[in-house]
Structure 1
Amino acid sequence: MTTTTERPAPPAAQHRPPGPLGRLGTRMVDHARAVAVVWVLVIAGLGSFAPSVFSDLAGAGWQADDSDSVAARELAEEHFGGNASHALQLVVHTPDGSVDDPAAVEALDAATGILAADARFATIVPPRRGMTVSQDGRTAILLAGAAASPDDMVRAVDDLSDELTALSGDGVEVYPTGASALWSDFNHANHDAMIKAELISWPVTLTIMVIAFGSLVAAGLPLLLTMAGLGASAGALVLLNQVVPISVWAMNFAMMFALALGIDYALFLVHRFRSALHHGSSPRQAVAETMDTAGKAVLLSGLTVLVSLSAVLVVPAPAVRTMAVGIMLAVVFVLAATLTLLPAVLGALGPRVDRAGLPWAKAHQPRSPKFAAWGRLLHRRPWPFAIASVGILVALAIPVFGLKVAMPSIEVVPEDAPVRQGYAVVQESFGDGAPGALQVIAPATDTDEVLAALAGRGDDLAMITPAQPALDDSGLVMVQAIPSVDPSDPAMEDILSGMRADLPSSAVVGGAPAENLDLQKALNTWFPVVVGIILTLGFVLLLIALQAPLIALLGTLVSLLSTAAAFGVARLVFQEGVGADLLGFEPQGFLNGWGPVFFFAMIFAIAMDYTVFLLATAKEHYELSQDPETAQVDGLAHSGRVIFAAAAVMVAVFFTFALAEPLPPKEMGIILGLAVLLDAALVRLILLPVILRLTGHGAWWSPAWLRRVLPSVRFSH
């Protein structure tokens, strides 16, 4: 690249021997056919497993490993005929009759036959008066114990739900309910929402890419990377699922990130490749220069994304961990395609990368005059822009201190979902807390102490069942306690903690509400740890990339500021309901519990992605000129357009999820979209260039001892 005056670099500087990534790029060009064949085989091989990705991946996993509630579930499954939190509860309701009517009896008998024929169900417990038959006789609950893992029980509901609900008719309504049915309907609703969002985002994305690239051929390259990354990662997830259960949500996030990062990386490399061609390099030389500069930034950016997401793996929750794994796989494949397949294609295309160009493509210049002028304005008047951008971000971040989190309520599934309809019937017939029974399992010798402790809870519990002995000789008993409040009511946390404090130490408390609360506690406990790991590793990677401690530290901190602002807005929207009518949802009064941990990692990864792009370009110009003004102005002039276009694509991709009906993908789309918008507009294109202006040479200073310790990384070519 050139400096502010646009004087071409001398030939020796333009064609110096390539570095490791440059040599990798030229090898890809020299063996373009072999590279293409390898990628076709990889995509075909792994992609052959991809069609089954949504049916094969796990539907549960929302639990805190090693918690009391998981221990209770395992004991209930082993010793009490599968009467655990993941058992199926089949609600049979007769609005205008009785469950003793022939039609209702026939539906119960048919349901019993269907469930008994499936080995994934254990003991089938018929409705019992005073227990699972309502006082008015209009509603009965058939319990099908779990004889399989929570993931397999979700699949069982997937397989049988239509057959069971088809038993409705002749004045009888049949609804599968319980945790397994909830996750089944929840996953179906979210899958449908994700697919619809993807269908909307692709044409929008393609339009933005054509505008950004000015060429249909160049605009098609990101799609090549995205398809390669998606096909390979989908197949890899299916294979990995044979070893350890992978959440179906992993693929949802992988789809989104493969599209967003594939476009990001392709934009950066294609922009630099066209710049090298513009300065007279041959296609092969242009690939080498591109890989030694933009390729290095992309590699460091990809590593930063992977490091940020890897921090989530410390959280002891299978669904959360495997969502991170899904994104990481997509990033690995997209990164691999960017550093191997894309150089091969660019080398083969050469100047033809601008084929099918639109009118403005002919005016393409690697250095944007508009962003150069913007950079000079920021250099002349840094303080007004610094104060304005920091003020906006701080104002938006302040609400984050009142952010509440909790596990999703029944409202996250559509109103017409069978599980939500059955949930409403159970509450109407048996009381608010009936859908969320708590299960206490203890040695039989402690039965009296358990019952006395539960009786002492007063109004917290609406009903306490007699102690049920185990079906084997384990010497255990189970007592079920029906709370007096809805399972998602904030008071449930106090009820559970009070029960655990009063019960003997030999007792464990489980049930779906307990599993949700234990998971929430684990997420809250590990959140500061995840944040600390991400910030530390993010700083270290920036330090290695830039060789400059001050700008690495400041780049990390401003990423934290934009992340806090995104969560502040999330509180206003999803907790307080600001704009809820416009966005078409009913606020729960809290953010879904896994949001802070997972969204923090994703938002910070994206923010650092742009940080690497901008600062790597600025560092390149500083290495060439040793002038901080040139580094700031030309860094923005050469990367601003790419960052702007990449952010526009990401915002478009994420905001399409705001159109989803279920709340979780809506939260995801709006929070991530706002985060990218705030980060690109206020941090990367204003605050970070201003920081470069105010710190001057100090931004790039590094003590001699640190330079000796760090590996040598240069971006100039």
Structure 2
Amino acid sequence: MASLLYRLGRLSFRRRRYFALLWVVLLGACAFAAVNAPEAEDEGFTVPGTESQRAFDLLDERFPGGNSEGADARIVFAAPDGRKVTAGDTRAAVERVVDEVGAGSQVREALSPFEDDAVSEDGSTAYSTVTYDAPGEKLTEDTKKALMDAVEDGRDAGMTVEVGGSAVDAGPEFGGVTELIGIGVAALVLFLTFRALVAAGLPLVTALVGLGAGICAIMALGLPTTTITLALMLGLAVGIDYALFIVSRYRAERAEGHPAEEAVGRAVGTAGSAVVFAGATVVIALAGLSVAGVPMLTEMGLAAAGTVVIGVLVALTLLPALLGFFPQAVLPRAHRAARQPTAAAKEAAGANETTGAKETTGAKETTGAKEAAGSRWARFVIRRPLASLLLSVVGLGVVAVPALDLQLSLPGDEAQPTSTTQRRAYDALADGFGPGFNGPLTVAIDAKKADDPKAAVAQATKTLKATDGVVDVSPPLFNKAGDTAMVSAVPSTGPSATATKNLVKTLRAEADRVEADAGASMLVTSQTAMNIDVSNKVTAALVPYLAVVVGLAVLLLMIVFRSVLVPLKAALGFLLSVAAAFGVIVAVFQWGWLADLLGVAQTGPVMSMMPIFLIGVVFGLAMDYEVFLVTRIREAYVHGERPAQAVVTGFRHSARVVVAAAVIMIAVFAGFIGMTDSMIKMMGLGLAAAVFFDAFIVRMTLVPAVLALLGRTAWWLPRWLGKVLPDVDVEGEKLTRRLGADPGPPARTTPREESVNA
């Protein structure tokens, strides 16, 4: 692996114009394909294998055209205090609003609340249901404006008028001011790490190229726009990090005195090998999201995995080419100023970088004021390994305590900020009609095999009315054949309440009795029931997902590190990180800690897909830091250093860069916390917290403590397993030996280098 990437790096350097042109052409082709690709079809949210989905499919089959995919809006009217919406002037104002909306384009039907029995018992609240001919993303701006203009006219009449539904839902968010701030923080961290503008800029440029190609490819393939958010998060974060490691290694090789082309080859051969395997763990974790069996989650995982693959390819080919254009500008100022890299310049470069001159076997690392902070921290931990280990584990365990109260659901309008009309409409309906009105249950009654379909439906409806927790049941709506009916049952509790989940479970349990007595099958569905089914399905998939993804990743790390205990330690450290991240999510989004500061509008259950999503993404990112950090430790160990000294050397070479990479990733993820969508906000906070815990506590503290306690045992591998596992030489030992014996063809220098080194 290292030798192959070494040759690829040198080839990219020598043929830099061709490689740069190739990526420009690829990016342009992806952009052209994205612009000309047909618009992605919104197939809706489906969860195969659940009762909710079977009920939806049955209703689509038996009520053709009745379950339209068009957008809907629900206009909620609340009369002024002390008045009723049925009063003469207020009623007239309501009807004017409904007529105005109904006259708009793309409107199929606008129902008056007075004709649709949509007035609360006390007469204070009413609602009008509006259906459209087109789905929400295809409604024109004129159509949406007409709806909001009618709402404003109702408000001018003295009523409180709010509107919710898919017709007014905002599309997916792809960025914002806070995300731009995150990118700005990443640029600042890169500059402080490298102290050179070009060195700081190259990772940003390559990350944006890879991200642009990935996003355009997603659009060109016609994947839903919901897949872009995760690809945007990960593509930007890992793209910067992967380039950061290779640029850092290139500067270290130049500090050793290697010419630019040779330094590029060595950097891609060593740091590039770590990038390949780190990217592979991320791809495994993301592709493994398909285990859950939720199509939307599968699409998000595969789209993000593809973007990560592109990011790896960019780091291995475009970055070496760009280094060929700027071989000197990426170096520290002291190195650029010298006509020949003197020993003092090398020492300064090593102190600046964390990746200083490599130690020879048995050499002692200098201590004192100029010793890198990473080395000092490693020495501190390995002198107190047991205390460091216990403090890390106990600290993460305390932060993880709130995760024991984790509750899952899919958020609706109740999670929107109170400043939105959707949230105010939700609250008005709950006040006027009861909390369960926002989450009615749809019951599909299949009486096709019953002797008397109408009698069977009547008996099923009677059972629904007699069930505790149901406050209202609509008259059954039959299909044209008269063998299937649809009934709406309103719970007494809200959509995300535990009592509502228990009610759905009770109704499904009674379906067997209805079928036995009346010969009709009864299926419970609706968005509320679908949310419950998703939670159950994702929870059931967690164990097989962990088995598949963690098992494959541990096997991959065994190949990388030639060790049994190091991969197991990496997996256990990840579990601590993700548990602590869940503790943060529960504390903020369920318990309300710092909710106002972070802009959380409503506390409540955590998004049901968050556990498997966070586990998958964080596992891949955690293994990134494991590979980058421990690879340098193993490199020192296989070159003859004692285990404890190898830890110190590895930290001297990589600690600062790993910290910079973690800060960059945290900044990118934290940028998404500022968005209004509660799901994206939760994803941003969870990922930022998980990276913080994993990078700064697990990898920077727990890892050196465990390696110090294990000593040489950490690198133990059974002989029979060593023969089975391929030796990919990720630390570049064979490459180093080969280059030492055969330096290969002389490296070509650019005119700029010749003038500097003359």
> Contact 2:194–2:332 at 8 Å: present in 1 too?
no
Which of 55, 59, 80 is the aligned partner of 1:72? 55
Between 153-162 and 676-685, report the one with greater CA deviation.
153-162
SS of residue paired to 2:651: helix
Q: Which has the larger radius of gyration?
A: 2
Query: Counterpart amino acid of 2:281?
Result: T
Q: Note the alpha carbon deviations across 1:432-457, whole angstroms, 9 max, x for none.
A: 22222211111341202211210221
Seen in structure 2, the aligned counterparts of structure 1 residues 136 and 154 have a Cα distance that, compared at 3 Å, is farther
Matched, 1:364 2:352: yes
Aligned counterparts, 1:115-126, within 5 A:
117=106
> Aligned-pair distance for 1:575?
2.1
**How far apart, in 2, do the equivalents of 1:249 and 1:664 lie?**
11
Q: Which residue of 2 aligns with 1:399?
A: 402
Which of 212, 216, 219 is the aligned partner of 1:231? 212
Q: Which residue of 1 aligns with 2:331?
A: 354
Which of 12, 36, 60 is the aligned partner of 1:28? 12
Q: Which residue of 2 aligns with 1:679?
A: 694
Aligned counterparts, 1:587-666, within 5 A:
588-625=603-640, 627-666=642-681
Seen in structure 2, the aligned counterparts of structure 1 residues 706 and 158 have a Cα distance that, compared at 3 Å, is farther
> Aligned-pair distance for 1:694?
1.6
Q: Which residue of 2 aligns with 1:462?
A: 471
SS of residue paired to 1:354: coil
SS of residue paired to 1:535: helix
Q: Which residue of 2 aligns with 1:110?
A: 100
> Contact 1:77–1:83 at 8 Å: present in 2 too?
yes
Which of 321, 328, 335 is the aligned partner of 2:305? 328
**How far apart, in 1, do the equivalents of 2:60 and 2:530 lie?**
15
Aligned counterparts, 1:211-226, within 5 A:
211-226=192-207
Q: Which residue of 2 aligns with 1:131?
A: 117
> Aligned-pair distance for 1:225?
1.6
Seen in structure 2, the aligned counterparts of structure 1 residues 321 and 658 have a Cα distance that, compared at 3 Å, is same
**How far apart, in 1, do the equivalents of 2:505 and 2:69 lie?**
18
Q: Which residue of 1 aligns with 2:450?
A: none
Seen in structure 2, the aligned counterparts of structure 1 residues 587 and 104 have a Cα distance that, compared at 3 Å, is closer
Q: Which residue of 2 aligns with 1:10?
A: none
Q: Note the alpha carbon deviations across 1:19-52, whole angstroms, 9 max, x for none.
A: 1111111121122111111111111222346679
Q: Say what the alpha-carbon RMSD is for the aligned residues.
A: 3.0
Q: Which residue of 1 aligns with 2:77?
A: 93
Q: Which residue of 2 aligns with 1:449?
A: 459
Matched, 1:485 2:493: yes
SS of residue paired to 2:584: helix
What TM-score results when the alignment is normalised by the length of structure 2?
0.83
> Contact 1:50–1:231 at 8 Å: present in 2 too?
no
Between 294-303 and 126-135, report the one with greater CA deviation.
126-135
Q: Which residue of 1 aligns with 2:568?
A: 553
**How far apart, in 1, do the equivalents of 2:220 and 2:69 lie?**
28
> Contact 1:83–1:146 at 8 Å: present in 2 too?
no
Seen in structure 2, the aligned counterparts of structure 1 residues 709 and 684 have a Cα distance that, compared at 3 Å, is same
> Contact 2:71–2:167 at 8 Å: present in 1 too?
no
Query: Counterpart amino acid of 1:167?
Result: A
Q: Note the alpha carbon deviations across 1:43-68, whole angstroms, 9 max, x for none.
A: 12223466799x95677844422322
SS of residue paired to 1:480: strand
SS of residue paired to 2:26: helix
> Aligned-pair distance for 1:391?
2.0
Between 483-492 and 541-550, report the one with greater CA deviation.
483-492
Question: Number of matched residues?
Answer: 681
> Aligned-pair distance for 1:683?
1.3
**How far apart, in 1, do the equivalents of 2:584 and 2:590 lie?**
10
> Contact 1:157–1:181 at 8 Å: present in 2 too?
no
Q: Which residue of 2 aligns with 1:164?
A: 147
> Aligned-pair distance for 1:353?
1.6
**How far apart, in 1, do the equivalents of 2:486 and 2:526 lie?**
11
Q: Which residue of 1 aligns with 2:190?
A: 209
SS of residue paired to 1:477: strand
> Aligned-pair distance for 1:223?
1.1
Query: Counterpart amino acid of 1:370?
Result: A
SS of residue paired to 1:90: strand
Question: What is the percent sequence identity of the aligned residues?
Answer: 32
> Aligned-pair distance for 1:427?
2.5
> Contact 2:418–2:601 at 8 Å: present in 1 too?
no
Seen in structure 2, the aligned counterparts of structure 1 residues 401 and 52 have a Cα distance that, compared at 3 Å, is farther
SS of residue paired to 1:267: helix
Q: Which residue of 1 aligns with 2:244?
A: 267
**How far apart, in 1, do the equivalents of 2:333 and 2:416 lie?**
45
Matched, 1:414 2:417: yes
> Contact 2:199–2:247 at 8 Å: present in 1 too?
yes
Uncovered stretches (5+) of structure 2, i.e. residues with no partner: 338-347, 357-370, 448-452, 516-520, 737-758
> Aligned-pair distance for 1:424?
2.6
Seen in structure 2, the aligned counterparts of structure 1 residues 156 and 686 have a Cα distance that, compared at 3 Å, is same
Q: Which residue of 2 aligns with 1:4?
A: none
Q: Which residue of 1 aligns with 2:750?
A: none
**How far apart, in 2, do the equivalents of 1:33 and 1:616 lie?**
32
Q: Which residue of 1 aligns with 2:756?
A: none
SS of residue paired to 2:435: coil
Seen in structure 2, the aligned counterparts of structure 1 residues 580 and 134 have a Cα distance that, compared at 3 Å, is closer
**How far apart, in 1, do the equivalents of 2:424 and 2:69 lie?**
19
Between 17-26 and 357-366, report the one with greater CA deviation.
357-366
**How far apart, in 1, do the equivalents of 2:333 and 2:642 lie?**
39
**How far apart, in 2, do the equivalents of 1:77 and 1:203 lie?**
49
SS of residue paired to 2:176: helix
> Aligned-pair distance for 1:419?
2.3
Aligned counterparts, 1:424-573, within 5 A:
424-444=427-447, 445=453, 446-458=456-468, 460-470=469-479, 472-473=480-481, 475-503=483-511, 504-505=514-515, 506-573=521-588
> Contact 2:415–2:602 at 8 Å: present in 1 too?
no
**How far apart, in 2, do the equivalents of 1:85 and 1:69 lie?**
17
**How far apart, in 1, do the equivalents of 2:325 and 2:727 lie?**
31
**How far apart, in 1, do the equivalents of 2:390 and 2:576 lie?**
14
What TM-score results when the alignment is normalised by the length of structure 1?
0.88
Query: Counterpart amino acid of 2:432?
Result: S
Seen in structure 2, the aligned counterparts of structure 1 residues 195 and 202 have a Cα distance that, compared at 3 Å, is same
Seen in structure 2, the aligned counterparts of structure 1 residues 82 and 530 have a Cα distance that, compared at 3 Å, is same
> Aligned-pair distance for 1:306?
0.5
> Aligned-pair distance for 1:127?
4.3
**How far apart, in 1, do the equivalents of 2:532 and 2:138 lie?**
24
**How far apart, in 1, do the equivalents of 2:437 and 2:374 lie?**
61
**How far apart, in 1, do the equivalents of 2:569 and 2:589 lie?**
30
Query: Counterpart amino acid of 1:64?
Result: V
> Aligned-pair distance for 1:377?
2.8
Between 135-144 and 546-555, report the one with greater CA deviation.
135-144
> Contact 1:233–1:329 at 8 Å: present in 2 too?
yes
Seen in structure 2, the aligned counterparts of structure 1 residues 573 and 419 have a Cα distance that, compared at 3 Å, is closer
Q: Which residue of 2 aligns with 1:19?
A: 3
> Aligned-pair distance for 1:77?
4.3
Aligned counterparts, 1:245-264, within 5 A:
245-246=223-224, 248-264=225-241
Aligned counterparts, 1:43-54, within 5 A:
43-48=27-32
**How far apart, in 2, do the equivalents of 1:251 and 1:268 lie?**
26
Seen in structure 2, the aligned counterparts of structure 1 residues 662 and 104 have a Cα distance that, compared at 3 Å, is same
